[in-house]
Amino acid sequence: MEKKIRVLICDDQEDLAKELKSVLETDAEIEVAGLARDGFDALEKMPVCAPDVVLMDIRMPNMNGVVATRRMKEEYPNVKVVILTTFDDSDYILNAINNGASGYLLKDIGSAALLSAIKNAYAGDTILPSKIARRITDAASRVAEDREIKLARAFSLSDREVEIALMTYEGFTNRQISAALKLSEGTTRNYVSSIYEKTHTENRLELAQKIKEIL
């Protein structure tokens, strides 16, 4: 018989945890290994339950899902943790994923989608519903815009100079910058010289250090 996917459900709402358990038990490929009421409880039960996937609520007393995910991934790096919550907050999303979560689901997910998500997480996929993926993309875009605004304001750089300064900071050579931006190498050199002058630097190392201080 093929191995079943063992799932630990971690949620402080007992009724919801039991409801999730009932849904998971309808699938012959999935086995509910146990229920936990918070992050501490989940960590204590890990050696006994030996789950492949943990469904982790994010807002719980004693130890929330973000902290529990980090601790769990440190001790059990092969376990897949899927965050399950009613809160589609981008900070929580990014924190959970940065701490090793395999994905993020909202609690209003349908039964079929939940079962599919568990199997996909077990297979190594990142689970992100479209509206959450959009929120992460938006957050990443805001970070990129913030970097550009900071550089432009700090050194009075033009939009093109900001673009080239960031590419230089990220390790692109003049030739690579020229190819990417469809500029002649002479034009790129002129832009780089202007950036050096405005940032009061003389080489790429100094420029990278100056940009790092600003960002």
- Give the pLDDT score at 79: 96
By three-state DSSP, how is residue 11 classified? coil
What pLDDT band is residue 202 in, cutting at 50, 70 and 90?
Answer: very high
- Give the pLDDT score at 215: 79
Q: Find how far residue 141's CA is from the centre of its chain.
A: 14
What pLDDT band is residue 28 in, cutting at 50, 70 and 90?
Answer: very high
- At the topology level of CATH, where does 141-214 sit? Arc Repressor Mutant, subunit A (1.10.10)
Q: Is the pLDDT of residue 100 over 90?
A: no
Looking from the CA of 36 toward its CB, the CA atoms found within 13 Å total 31
Cα gap 200→180, rounded to integer Å: 26
Q: Mean of the pLDDT values across residues 90-110?
A: 80
The residue among 48 and 129 whose pLDDT is bigger is 48
List of residues 6+ apart from 161 with CB closer than 8 A: 191, 194, 195, 198
Q: Is the pLDDT of residue 135 over 80?
A: no
Q: Is the pLDDT of residue 144 over 70?
A: no
The domain segmentation of the chain, as residue ranges, is: 5-128, 141-214
Question: Which CATH number does the domain 5-128 belong to among 1.10.10.10, 3.40.50.2300, 3.90.870.10, 3.40.50.10790?
Answer: 3.40.50.2300
Q: Is the pLDDT of residue 128 over 70?
A: yes
